[in-house]
Amino acid sequence: MAARVEKVEPAELPDIFAAAALGVIQLLDDHRSLPGGEWHDEVAAWNGSRIRKIMRRARASAWQRAQDVPGLTVVHGSAEVRIFVPGVVDEAPPELSKLQIQSSPLDEPDHVDVLAAVDEPTLTVLLNPAVEMSWGKRGAQVAHAAQRCWEQLERTDRFDWNAATRPVRVLTPTSALWAELLPASTTQIRDGGFTEIAPGTLTAASWLARS
């Protein structure tokens, strides 16, 4: 994945996270990822029990060049995130390998202490407030949590979520709210330990909220 982060008026983190979540789901749901599609083999080989995601950042001409790499771009609020067809990290094309993984400084979102009610089915992702991660790492964890939640949804839940135009919210809760909501989540993500944090660290939780 690559988030567009320009020097002037950069995107806001909650929008980047939501775009990453939507983008991964959109890639999986794309006809090109289905059996017989041009992306199917790569997506199927990647989407196993130990999938890996990396969030890079791009701006200006580097962002434009990244659009030539197979994948799709999602716009959400202030953010643009491109989701690339999966591949081997060490074999990434130069348009991607040259993009920085180190996150540029961005304003941090406020911690929330109350979960607001929703009027329509909303894919909700919470980030563990006790784990320090770069925003790029958090974006990858959000996308992972959203993907696994979506994959586990019943057919009727997917239909309702699609009908509501796929609303997503990504929140960083207070420690108290995290402890309160974690047992009710349907998906919990533990990191593989490739970067930044120890293997098995609980990073995010997600569910389809209906109220």
pTM: 0.95
pLDDT at 87 over 80: yes
Single out the residue of 144, 168, 191, 131 nearest to residue 28, CA to CA: 144
- 132-151 confidence digits (pLDDT tens): 999 999 999 999 999 999 99
Domains and CATH numbers, the chain: 2-97 (no CATH), 122-209 (3.40.1490.10)
Residue 208 and residue 123 in contact, taking contact as beta carbons nearer than 8 Å: yes
Q: Which one-letter amino acid corresponds to residue 43?
A: V
Q: What is the pLDDT of residue 49?
A: 63
Q: What angle do CA 192, 198, 202 make, to 5 degrees?
A: 70
- 91-114 confidence digits (pLDDT tens): 889 999 899 887 678 999 999 999
